[in-house]
Amino acid sequence: MNQVSSKIIKRIFKATTYVLFLGLVVLVVLEICYRSYIFDFYKSNLELLNKEELADPADKKVLLAMGDSFTADQDSYVKYLRQALPNYKVINSGIPGTTVDQAALMAGRRIKELNPSIFIYQIYLGNDLFEFRHAQEGDVSLTRKVYWLLADRFLILQYINARLPMLRQSLLKDLPTQKNIKLLEQYSIETYSPRVKMQIRAENSFAENSIYLKGGREKDMQKYLVKLNALLNEVPDTCAKYIVVIPHCSLVNKKYQMQYEELGMKFSDQFENGPQAYPFLTELQENLKNEKVKILELSSILNATDSIQNVFYENDPHLNAFGQNRVGEYIKENLN
């Protein structure tokens, strides 16, 4: 009986080892394909966001916008630019849930295909550095920590994760099903974005750490800038280049900071709201000072606008339609 049990255990061990080895090989192959970008992994996103623009036979100059969910939203600032710039094909190449890693991989193909005259890359000064390197010290499940640890090294996992939301939901149970919280008109801790609350549990000072480059984020910023420069190097000098920096809502108005404190986020006495020269911005400006790129930082504009009407959703950190429209207006005013 003991010999039989020993043989079964050995077979299970061999089978498990084989499956793990095969899975690792497949993962490495997929990662090589993704990093070399041998085909357009995000073509479906491009087609979905630009049906009319891609079908337009008119010979127009192209404005290409890249970024995360702030850009990829159907009602983002890109929508305003399309209305304000009828002589341009305004192409939305935003991808939700991505950061500069994915944009740097995709930029070369997009620029070669579309030959833009104006290039915009949107940065979100909220979770861009968080998504660039996920914190491992916080109060999140072991499953998610392991996934983040692997995803920071194998970018293909982030792609698969974004493409398979149902599988993600079943495997990562600490991330509840996303409701359409943008439609909710009253802020509450219970209804605020589950994704944000999970990020706060993982790193309870991620906003201030990113803005002031603290808690290890100063090292992440240096790596982030290397990728950003690689992205911008794909853009020819004949193309006007713009970096649009959308601030975290806590930087825009004290009321959002207070809401985030209720959600569990930590802020030090050093933290300030409103227009200011903060380390993330100054580091960005210093790094790009010799590049032909214009940086459009939105905290002062959104701060002034938010005092009149809310520019962020009540239960989500994204800009609402009013805020997106104001961003579009500001970009239009600053285009050469």
Task: Find the range with the poorest average confidence among 1-15, 88-102, 296-310, 316-330.
Answer: 1-15
Bridge partner list, 120: 65, 242
Query: Has residue 12 got a pLDDT over 80?
Result: no
Domain definitions of the chain by residue range:
1-36, 44-334
- For residue 31, give both structure tokens: 């990662």
pLDDT band at 36 (very low <50, low <70, confident <90, very high): very high
pLDDT of residue 63: 98
| Bridge-based pairing state of the strands 240-247 and 293-297 | parallel
Residue pair 85/208 in contact (Cβ under 8 Å)? The answer is no
Query: Has residue 13 got a pLDDT over 80?
Result: no
Q: Which residues have CB under 8 Å from 126's CB, separation 6+?
A: 207, 210, 246, 247, 248, 249, 317
Query: Has residue 165 got a pLDDT over 70?
Result: no
pLDDT tens-place string over residues 272-299: 988 778 999 999 999 998 778 999 999 9
Q: Using CA of residue 257, residue 262, residue 266, residue 269, what is the dihedral sign?
A: positive
pLDDT tens-place string over residues 216-255: 999 999 999 999 999 999 999 999 999 999 999 999 999 9
pLDDT tens-place string over residues 178-208: 557 887 788 999 999 999 999 999 999 999 9
- For residue 276, give both structure tokens: 């200011």
Angle between helices 155-163 and 142-151 (to 10 degrees): 120
307 or 93: which leads in pLDDT: 93
pLDDT of residue 51: 94
pLDDT of residue 149: 92
pLDDT of residue 214: 94
pLDDT band at 172 (very low <50, low <70, confident <90, very high): low
- For residue 170, give both structure tokens: 């079943």
SS (H, E, C) 165-221: HHHHHHHCCCCCCCCCHHHCCCCCCCCCCHHHHHHHHHCCCHHHHHHHCCCCHHHHH
pLDDT band at 58 (very low <50, low <70, confident <90, very high): confident
Task: Find the range with the poorest average confidence among 32-46, 106-120, 150-164, 212-226.
Answer: 150-164
**Is the whole model's pTM more than 0.85, yes or no?**
yes
pLDDT of residue 1: 54
pLDDT tens-place string over residues 309-323: 999 999 999 999 999
Instruction: Look at the domain 44-334 and name its fold.
Output: Rossmann fold (3.40.50)
Bridge partner list, 243: 121, 295
9 or 157: which leads in pLDDT: 157
pLDDT of residue 105: 94
**67: burial class by Cβ within 10 Å (0-12, 13-18, 19+)?**
buried
Query: Distance (Å, rounded) from C-alpha 279 to C-alpha 168?
Result: 35
pLDDT band at 102 (very low <50, low <70, confident <90, very high): very high
pLDDT band at 175 (very low <50, low <70, confident <90, very high): low
Query: Distance (Å, rounded) from C-alpha 318 to C-alpha 322?
Result: 11
pLDDT tens-place string over residues 147-160: 999 999 999 998 98
Average pLDDT, the chain: 90
- For residue 24, give both structure tokens: 């690792």
Query: Distance (Å, rounded) from C-alpha 244 to C-alpha 298?
Result: 8
- For residue 239, give both structure tokens: 């193309």
pLDDT of residue 182: 82
pLDDT of residue 328: 97
